[in-house]
Amino acid sequence: MKVLVANLGSTSFKYRLFDMESEQQLARGGIDRIGQDADSNCVVEIGGRTSEVQQRIPDHAAAVQICLDQLTDPQSGCLGSVDEVAAIGFKAVFAGKLSGVRRVDNNLLETMEALADVAPAHNPPYARAMRQLQQAFPSIPLVAALETGFHDTIPEKYRTYSAPYEWKEQYEVQRWGFHGASHRYIGTRMAELTGRDDLKVISCHLGGSSSLCAISGGKSQSTTMGMTPQSGLPQNNRVGDFDPFALRLVKRLTGKDYDTLLDELSSQSGLYGLSGISPDLRDIEEAAAQGNERAELAIDVYTADIKRYIGQYLAVLNGADAIVFTGGIGENSTRVRSDVCAGMDYAGIQLDPEKNESAKGEAKISRDDSRVEIWTVPTNEEIVVARQTVEVVSA
């Protein structure tokens, strides 16, 4: 069975094609600037060969058609025909109580559209693209793997806000959590690497969007993101945790309305807002190394919040067997890993500086005498979605 996994942005489409009998990745590609007045870069990698074309792409359905044309090209493709694609799986984000993994239907799409204000950067492009693909490729099943699904196992005491209970009952206001595919992969992969299925793992997905998850025996027990992906850790340009009552003061002093202030919190805050330099940690680390105090503060705030949540999750799990760093920052920033683990000896967390500096791919970077193992593990959200898609289509 061959499954195409789609990762959508408002103007982008990234994909991977898997042969699920062997879980071999057959191809990967991406298209940008969809629906814009500019040529898109259409890149595909098949069998180690990369090709690129530029053309105008009006919508996501056209992007998928180009993708399928590339994959079925008689000279360079890896498919004989489109009929070989058994399903398209989507790493979808939020649909409230319609969580888990499910076939895409009108009920799901209408729910995603109605809840767009929870995930404004994700729900609208996904729902729009799914509708386009339903019409363009009616014979290919579409499957949505909701990011919230992995967190369905979180106990109510860690999911429930102390707001009026009616908000939870009537409006589904609770800590939903996100990055489910990544945290699920880390829990599964660590069990494979250690040969244990009872591990207590603190998964640190750190990138443009960051979250931590406390995992016990492969199941989510608590996570940093709450009702929306705007909460939890500071993000590249999103605020993370923030006292909402501060908005009343800022509104009065600036004369700005609440929507404007919320837009600022979701687009001009986080690492970008603190540093005033860039939303990219690489730029911020470079500036900090040159003595920029705001850049240094941005890194300090980011790593302090990560450390704060690790302490919380040591309490939730009653200790930990492993802390895992993943995502673009988690896998590549030696400074972030070092700063997070510094001063954690009391909890048996001891980083090996030399291993940390040389780590590539899957690597254990803790000292030999560290009670808690520290790892870097590249995440693979796409294979998780592909596996879930196969389960739904086969059922």
Amino acid at 257: D
- CATH architecture assignment, domain 196-376: 2-Layer Sandwich (3.30)
Whose CA is closest to 285, among 273, 272, 299?
299
Q: Are 361 and 346 in contact (CB under 8 A)?
A: no
Whether residue 280 is annotated as binding a ligand: the answer is yes
Whether residue 332 is annotated as binding a ligand: the answer is yes
3-state SS assignment for residue 211: strand
Whether residue 282 is annotated as binding a ligand: the answer is yes
Could you count the other beta carbons within 10 Å of the beta carbon of residue 364? 18
Whether residue 270 is annotated as binding a ligand: the answer is no
- Say what the pLDDT of residue 351 is: 98
- Say what the pLDDT of residue 242 is: 96
pLDDT(78) > 70: yes
Q: Which residues on adjacent β-strands are paired with residue 26?
A: none
- Say what the pLDDT of residue 342 is: 98
Higher pLDDT: 8 or 384? It is 384
- Say what the pLDDT of residue 389 is: 97
Q: What rounded mean pLDDT belongs to the chain?
A: 94
Angle at 97 between CA 95 and CA 100, to 5 degrees: 75
| Residues 319, 182: Cα–Cα separation, whole Å | 22
Whether residue 147 is annotated as binding a ligand: the answer is no
Q: Can you state the angle between helices 293-317 and 281-289, rounded to 10 degrees?
A: 120
Q: What's the pLDDT tens digit per position in 166-202?
A: 999 999 999 999 999 999 999 999 999 999 999 999 9
Same fold, 2-146 and 196-376: yes
> What is the percent of the chain with per-residue pLDDT over 90, rounded to a whole number?
81
Ramachandran angles phi, psi of 334, nearest 5°: -65, -35
DSSP category for residue 39? P
Q: What's the pLDDT tens digit per position in 236-272?
A: 999 999 999 999 999 999 999 999 999 999 999 999 9
Whose CA is closest to 341, among 328, 324, 329?
324
- Per the listing, tokens 């025909």 go with 81
- C-alpha 75, offset from chain centre: 35
Residue 10's pLDDT band, with cuts at 50, 70 and 90, is low
DSSP category for residue 173? -
Q: Are 7 and 91 in contact (CB under 8 A)?
A: yes
- Say what the pLDDT of residue 120 is: 86
| Residues 380, 29: Cα–Cα separation, whole Å | 15
| Residues whose CB falls within 8 Å of the CB of residue 167, separated by 6 or more in sequence, listed in order | 161, 173
Whether residue 146 is annotated as binding a ligand: the answer is no
Beta strands in 20-165 (DSSP E): 24-31, 40-46, 49-55, 85-90, 101-103, 142-145
Q: What's the pLDDT tens digit per position in 111-134?
A: 999 999 898 878 988 898 899 889
3-state SS assignment for residue 143: strand
Q: Is 135 exposed, middle or buried (0-12, 13-18, 19+ CB in 10 A)?
A: exposed
- Say what the pLDDT of residue 305 is: 98
Q: What's the pLDDT tens digit per position in 326-355?
A: 999 999 999 999 999 999 999 999 999 999
Whether residue 329 is annotated as binding a ligand: the answer is yes
Q: Are 122 and 146 in contact (CB under 8 A)?
A: no
Q: Which CATH number fits domain 2-146: 3.30.930.10, 3.40.718.10, 3.30.420.40, 3.30.300.30?
A: 3.30.420.40
pLDDT(110) > 80: yes
Whether residue 330 is annotated as binding a ligand: the answer is yes
pLDDT(137) > 80: yes
- Mean pLDDT score, 364-386: 97
Q: How many CA atoms lie within 13 A of 265 on its CB side?
A: 23
| Residues 217, 149: Cα–Cα separation, whole Å | 16
3-state SS assignment for residue 370: coil
Domain residue ranges of the chain, discontinuous segments joined by +? 2-146, 196-376
Q: Are 202 and 317 in contact (CB under 8 A)?
A: yes
- Say what the pLDDT of residue 59 is: 84
Whether residue 300 is annotated as binding a ligand: the answer is no
Whether residue 328 is annotated as binding a ligand: the answer is yes
- C-alpha 268, offset from chain centre: 20
Whose CA is closest to 377, among 329, 325, 322, 341?
325
- Say what the pLDDT of residue 41 is: 85
Q: What's the pLDDT tens digit per position in 271-325?
A: 999 999 999 999 999 999 999 999 999 999 999 999 999 999 999 999 999 999 9
Whether residue 381 is annotated as binding a ligand: the answer is yes
Amino acid at 194: T
pLDDT(36) > 90: no
Q: What's the pLDDT tens digit per position in 226-236?
A: 999 999 999 99
